[in-house]
Amino acid sequence: MQAPAEQFKAKTHLPVLDGVRGIAILLVICVHFCQSFPKESDHVLWKLALWGQTGVDLFFVLSGFLITGILLDAKGSENYIRNFYVRRVLRIFPLYYLTLIGAYFFHPTTFSQSSWYWFYLQDFALAFDPKLQKGPEFLWSLAVEEHFYLVWPFLVLQFDGTKLLKIIAGAIAGALLCRLALGQFEMYYFTLARMDSIAIGAALAIWARSPKGLARLVPWAKRVFVLIGCALVIQLLLPRIQVPVVHVVRNTMVAIVYACGIVLAIEYKQTAAGKLLASAGMRSVGKYSYAMYMFHPFILDWMHARGISFSGGALLVFTLLSYVGGFISWHLLEKPILELKRYFAYARPQPVEAPLSKTASA
């Protein structure tokens, strides 16, 4: 059952995590479809889709896990910082700015208040004064990630794993405090109030590189996944049962549940559920998830303009169209640009006899 630390080297690809990413985008697509029909809020499909609100949390946790893993494994390599940021730009910027240009081409009246988006500052405007900006609000999550990764690579380079875990604990506490102290604002969008999810994923990457890997977390992960997961589902399905503290801790609890899910997905990758996540279909959804996320609101608007009705069939069509958009984007835009990454490959540090866990405990 033990997962050797070597499997978490950045060069190794874990297909099961593509499936996890696929689940995240399907959750987002489902909830956005249902929320576009507010009059159907009593429908069972609408209620079940509420869990899709946490799809972005899953993206954050997975991003923290994967990117921190890359940074840890490349630590000490030549041009570490330069290569990270160039590779990040190649992955995110082309499709992001193409989406912005397209959005303002079709809605030119919003262009005058779009500066927040061009500089990844839309989360500030959305959180504190939404009237300051006009544009595709769903891009707030990319701003949160970019802000986190402006700082995180330098911290990984500077500190060992033990100190990084203390910084992560501080980031989680800071996010909780931010949501508590600034609850009158829309903290759902604000970087400092959302960094706990990415930080929890980052902690998972550090623990994965300890001597026993993630295997030691499995018993704990099982219990937490079931207990907290069930409590969160009940809270979502029964919104009238509200406890004030839930508003503050909910996102952190969701992130912990998803971190446990990632642990179980990796450690039980040979089970039926693991094989489903690693199947060709789920992996392809994960591969195209970035473009699916960027395009799906525009596809939904297009479908509404043609008079779609609320149904499972319409949701399926919406999902398939988003997938097609992701497929086209990957092959025509993203994949050719990502081939440039080979010029900015991480030169791996020379192997040493000491265990990998020294990254986390030196």
Per-residue pLDDT of 140-153, as tens digits, reads 999 999 999 999 99
Burial of residue 223, with CB atoms counted within 10 A of its CB: 0-12 exposed, 13-18 middle, 19 or more buried: exposed
**Tokens for 350?**
């020379």
| Per-residue confidence (pLDDT) for residue 42, from 0 to 100 | 81
Planar angle of CA 126, 127, 128, nearest 5 degrees: 100
| Per-residue confidence (pLDDT) for residue 2, from 0 to 100 | 39
Asked whether residue 173 carries a pLDDT value surpassing 90, the answer given is yes
Asked whether residue 360 carries a pLDDT value surpassing 50, the answer given is no
Give the whole-angstrom CA distance, residue 64 versus residue 288.
19
Instruction: Record the pTM.
Output: 0.90
Instruction: List the one residue out of 137, 67, 150 whose CA is nearest residue 294.
Output: 137
Instruction: List the one residue out of 207, 203, 117, 90 whose CA is nearest residue 152.
Output: 203
In terms of pLDDT, which residue wins out, 135 or 86? 86
Asked whether residue 203 carries a pLDDT value surpassing 50, the answer given is yes
Give the whole-angstrom CA distance, residue 187 versus residue 324.
33
| Per-residue confidence (pLDDT) for residue 228, from 0 to 100 | 87
Express each pLDDT in 29-52 by its tens digit. Answer: 999 999 999 988 788 788 788 888
Asked whether residue 241 carries a pLDDT value surpassing 70, the answer given is no
| Per-residue confidence (pLDDT) for residue 9, from 0 to 100 | 55
Quote the mean pLDDT of the chain: 88
| Per-residue confidence (pLDDT) for residue 239, from 0 to 100 | 60
Give the whole-angstrom CA distance, residue 352 versus residue 72.
15
Give the whole-angstrom CA distance, residue 225 versus residue 79.
39
Give the whole-angstrom CA distance, residue 122 versus residue 257.
28
| Per-residue confidence (pLDDT) for residue 111, from 0 to 100 | 60
Residue 234 identity: I
Give the whole-angstrom CA distance, residue 215 versus residue 1.
7
Would you say 292 and 326 are in contact if contact means Cβ atoms under 8 Å apart?
yes
Asked whether residue 311 carries a pLDDT value surpassing 80, the answer given is yes
Q: Could you state, in order of their start, the residue ranges of all structural domains in the chain?
A: 5-361
